[in-house]
Amino acid sequence: MIEDGLKLISQKTCIKFKKLDNSLENEEVKHLKFLHYGSGCGTLVGANGYNTSLKHSIYLDIDYCVTIGTVAHEVMHALGFHHEMIRADRNGSVWINFKAISDDMKRQYHRLKDTKQFNQRYDYGSVMHYPPEDYRSGIFEIISLMRDYQSTMGQRIDISFKDAKILNLVYCKNINIISILIK
């Protein structure tokens, strides 16, 4: 499942993932490490996820989040991408129903003051977008200001065209292929 999630990115971008050779395990090589740990799924955004070590850990709960789209979502976090619905310009596209969001999750919806959009409009179909409703209560937390897009938010089938376009703009400017090691 992890390999299939990585393919969603590598098939549409210059980014290629390679398994970390065991002989390099003790070398100082930056890499992504997938861990089946705890409940839920997550990772830190961008290179700060490497912390003091060279590995960037991505946590995937076997029972909840090992789907190809969720793997791609977490890898995009590791590559520096935030959730779509926290873009600085999101207020013209969605309304966040903070009353429906539990206190421990509200920080996931706070709008960033400054984000790079690369001249791309809001992407309701981004793999980085949360679903519109809470899976436990069924209450809408995110409401599209364009009704036709309400059901496209939160998909975890594939990265969107715009996801791939921005990955290519960020990582593929002057090179043909970038390799990221995984373990």
Q: Domain holding 160: CATH number?
A: 3.40.390.10
- Total domains in the chain come to 1
- For 132, residues 6+ apart whose C-beta sits below 8 A from its C-beta are 140, 141, 142, 143, 144, 150, 151, 153, 154
pLDDT of res. 112: 95
pLDDT digits (tens, 9 = 90+) for 20-52: 877 666 567 778 888 887 778 899 898 654 555
Residue 83 known to bind ligand: yes
Residue 53 in this model has a pLDDT that exceeds 70: no
DSSP 140: B
Residue 36 known to bind ligand: no
Task: Provide the annotated active-site residues.
Answer: 74
- Find the domain containing 87 and state its range: 2-182
pLDDT of res. 54: 73
Phi, psi (rounded to 5 degrees) for 57: -80, 135
Task: Output Rg (C-alpha) for the chain, integer angstroms.
Answer: 17
Residue 49: which region, alpha, beta or left (left: phi > 0; alpha: psi -120 to 50)?
alpha
Percent of the chain's residues with pLDDT above 70: 89
- Considering only 111-115, 144-148, 158-162, which range has the smallest mean pLDDT? 111-115
Residue 56 known to bind ligand: no
pLDDT of res. 33: 87
Confidence of residue 98 (pLDDT cuts 50, 70, 90): very high
pLDDT of res. 178: 59
